[in-house]
């Protein structure tokens, strides 16, 4: 998994909600993203960041909903993105928010 090489820093993130139906064929990237942001190393960068998983059996589209400390949200559709693309979008937004401070 190529995404594991980049470090995940959650300092500017308040909450990450990952929703998916495990029986759909398009959930791989969303599940890989969940593994990355839910890892002990990533969680250690912000112990107050909630990582919530909602597993549903309703054929729903996989989604990642990220809420930042300033209230801004980033919603990504996992069926259209790779885990690396989602991680890159998160890190770009986190770096921009860290620079604002």
Domain boundaries, the chain: 9-100
**Which 3 state secondary structure label does DSSP give 55?**
strand
- Over residues 58-80, the mean pLDDT reads 95
- Please tell me what DSSP assigns to residue 57: S
CATH code for the structural domain at 9-100: 3.40.30.10
User: What is the average pLDDT value for the chain, to the nearest integer?
Assistant: 91
Residue 9 exposure: Cα atoms within 13 Å on the Cβ side = 12
The pLDDT assigned to 6 comes to 58
- Over residues 43-57, the mean pLDDT reads 95
How much of the chain, in percent, has pLDDT values that exceed 70? 93
For residue 8, what pLDDT band results from cuts at 50, 70 and 90? confident
For residue 37, what pLDDT band results from cuts at 50, 70 and 90? very high
For residue 27, what pLDDT band results from cuts at 50, 70 and 90? very high
Q: What is the pTM (predicted TM-score) of this model?
A: 0.89
Whether the pLDDT of residue 61 is over 60: the answer is: yes
For residue 98, what pLDDT band results from cuts at 50, 70 and 90? confident
């Amino acid at each position: 998994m190529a995404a594991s090489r980049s470090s995940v820093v959650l300092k500017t993130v308040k909450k990450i909600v990952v929703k998916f139906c495990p029986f759909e064929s398009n959930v791989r990237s969303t599940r890989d993203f969940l593994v990355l942001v839910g890892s002990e190393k990533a969680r250690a960068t912000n112990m107050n960041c909630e990582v919530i998983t909602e597993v549903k059996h309703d054929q729903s589209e996989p989604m990642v909903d990220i809420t930042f400390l300033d209230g801004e949200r980033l919603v990504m559709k996992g069926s259209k993105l790779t885990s690396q693309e989602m991680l890159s979008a998160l890190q770009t937004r986190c770096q921009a928010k860290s620079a604002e401070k």
